[in-house]
Structure 1
Amino acid sequence: MGILIFSDIDGTLINSKQEVTPKTKLAIRKQIIKGNVFVPVSARMPKAIMSVVGEITKSCPMVAYNGALVLDEMGHILDSLFMSSSKAAKICSYIEGKNNGVVWNVYSDDNWYYFPGNNNDLVENEEKIVKFKAQPSSITEIAQLKNVHKILLMGTPDLLDATQKELRRLYPELYIVKSAANLLEVVVKRVSKGQGVKVIAQAFGMELKDCWAFGDNYNDEKMLQSVGHPVIMGNAPEDLKKKFRTTLDNNHDGIAAVLDSLN
C-alpha cells in the first residue's frame, strides 16, 4: 500500500498566480503513478478544489471546508459536520449589523452564498481565485437552508482579528480560525483539517504516522500535527515555520522539492 500525501491548496499547492506549476504537477503525478494517494485538504468547497486539482488528477479523495466535508475518490460522503442554518443566520445578522466592511459568505454542500453589500470586490476576487461563482443571498434565505458547512468572513486583517475575538466570545462552541490574513473561517468545533485527514486515513486503513502533509497557514496546523511527516511552506508565518520542517515557498515548488527527494 502506498502513502497518503495531504496538501492544502491556497498558498501551498498553487503559487501567487493561482496556478499549479508544471514542476509541482509532475512531482505529484509521479507519486500517484507509484501508487501513492494525493489528497487535497482545503477550506474551499469541493467544486473549487477540483478547479485546481483537476489539472493533476481526475479523481481523488478530498477534505473540504477545513474538514467539515470529507469525500472519497468517488465523491461519496465519509464525514459531514455542520451548524444549523438558524445559527449561521444569526452570525451573518451580527456581521451585517456591524456594517464595518466585513462580508459574510455561507457554504452549504457544494453551494456558495454571499451578501451583496458594499464590498462585492472581495467576493469577486475570491471568485477569480477559486474559479467559481457565488450566489447573492439574504439572511432570510440562509435561515431556510438545510445545513451550513462553513461561514467565511472577508475583510481587512485588523477587522478580522477583532471579529475573531468577538465571535469566539459569543460562540465558544465554534471553531474560528484564519486561513489567510483577509479570510476568517467559522465551522463547528469538531471540524479541523486534522480531523479530516484522520477520516481519510481510516478509510484507507493507513497510519497517520506514515502520511505526509503540506500547509502554509494556521488552519493547517492541526493537519500538520496529525501526520508523521509534516511540512510547512516557506511563505508561512514565522511562528509556524519554527514548529515544522520547512520547504521552499509556493512560488518555488516547495512541494516538489520534498516529493522529489522521496524514494
Structure 2
Amino acid sequence: MAKLLFSDIDGTLINSKLEVTAKTKEAIRRQIINGNVFIPVSARMPQAIMTAAGQIMKTCPMIAYNGALVLDEMGRTLCSKYMTAKQAAEICTYVEEKQNQTTWSVYSGYDWYYSPGNNSDLIKQEEQIVKVKAKTSSITQIQELKGVHKVLLLGNPEQLTEEQKELSSKYPELVIVKSAPNLLEIMVKDVSKGEGVKILAEEFNVDLKNCWAFGDNYNDEPMLKAVGHPIIMGNAPTDLKRHFTDVTSDNNHDGIAEVLDRLE
C-alpha cells in the first residue's frame, strides 16, 4: 500500500542554504520510485513551493498557504479557502497605522502583493528566499481582490508577538500563527496544514495511519498530529519537540533522509 510523505519546506526539507541536499533528494526519489507519494506542505505560495520541491521533481501534489490552497499533482484545486479582501485590507491598514518595523504582504492565488512604502527590504529578503517576485500594491488595490488566501506580516519578532495578540483578539475568526520569529501568517479559521493533509489522504485513498509528516515549527503541529507517523526535526523549538517521540536530525544534517532510509 502506498505511503503519503508530507513535508514542511523551510527548516525541514531545505537546509540553511535553501537547498535540498543530495542525500535527501536521493532518499525522496527512492520513495517515489517505490510507489510512495511525496507532498510538500508550506505557508508558501505554489510557485515558491516549487522553488524547493522542483529540486527533486517536476510536478507534485501540494498544500500551499498552510492549507488554504490544496492542489493535486496536475495543479487542479482540491480546496481553496480565503478571507475577504475587505478583511485583508483592514489588517494592512492596522499595520500601516502602527508605523513600526512591521510590513504587510498579501497572497491571492498565484499573486503576491506588498506595499513599497514600509520597510520593504524585508520583502526583498523574502523574494531572495522563495525566488518569486512580489507585485507592488496599495490597500485600495487589495480591497479590489476577489479573495485573499493569506496575509503575511514581516518584522521585528517582539513587535510581531504583540501584533499577534492584538489581531487574535480583534479577529477571532482568523488563524494567526508564527511560521518563523520574524513571520506572522494570517488565514481563515478552518485552515491548517492538518486539514490539508486530510484532504490529500482522502484524495489518494490512503489511511492517515499510513502517512508520514516532517515539520519543525508551530504551524506544522496540526499536520504532525493528523498523521500516524509524525517526525519532528532536530532544529525545532524545544517545547514543540516535547510533544513528539520521534525526533530526527536537523535540516542541515539530512533529518528527512535519516527517517526515509528506515522505510526501505
TM-score (norm 2): 0.99
Aligned residue in 2 for 1:262 = 263
Aligned residue in 1 for 2:147 = 147
Aligned residue in 2 for 1:246 = 247
One-letter amino acid matched to 1:48: A
Q: Runs ≥4 in structure 1, deviation > 2 angstroms? A: none
Please give the alpha-carbon distance, in whole angstroms, between the structure 1 residues aligned to 2:263 and 2:38.
14
Aligned residue in 2 for 1:36 = 36
Please give the alpha-carbon distance, in whole angstroms, between the structure 2 residues aligned to 1:261 and 1:181.
32
Q: Once the 2 structures are TM-superposed, how far is the Cα of residue 146 of structure 1 from its aligned partner?
A: 0.8
Q: Once the 2 structures are TM-superposed, how far is the Cα of residue 2 of structure 1 from its aligned partner?
A: 1.0
Q: Once the 2 structures are TM-superposed, how far is the Cα of residue 110 of structure 1 from its aligned partner?
A: 0.7
Superposition map of 1:108-257 within 5 A: 108-244=108-244, 245-257=246-258
Please give the alpha-carbon distance, in whole angstroms, between the structure 2 residues aligned to 1:240 and 1:101.
28
Q: Once the 2 structures are TM-superposed, how far is the Cα of residue 120 of structure 1 from its aligned partner?
A: 1.5
Please give the alpha-carbon distance, in whole angstroms, between the structure 1 residues aligned to 2:247 and 2:253.
13
**Percent identity between the aligned chains?**
66
Q: Which runs of 5+ in 2 are unaligned?
A: none
Residue 8 in structure 1 maps to residue 8 in structure 2: yes
Q: Once the 2 structures are TM-superposed, how far is the Cα of residue 118 of structure 1 from its aligned partner?
A: 3.5
CA offsets, 1:79-104, max 9 Å, x none? 00000001100111111111111010
Please give the alpha-carbon distance, in whole angstroms, between the structure 2 residues aligned to 1:115 and 1:91.
13
CA RMSD of aligned residues (A): 0.6
Aligned residue in 2 for 1:99 = 99
CA offsets, 1:202-249, max 9 Å, x none? 100111111000000000000000000000101100011111111000
- Number of residue pairs matched? 263
Please give the alpha-carbon distance, in whole angstroms, between the structure 2 residues aligned to 1:149 and 1:108.
5
Please give the alpha-carbon distance, in whole angstroms, between the structure 2 residues aligned to 1:241 and 1:212.
16
Q: Once the 2 structures are TM-superposed, how far is the Cα of residue 59 of structure 1 from its aligned partner?
A: 1.0
SS of the counterpart of 1:246? coil
Of 116-125 and 16-25, the range deviating more from structure 2: 116-125
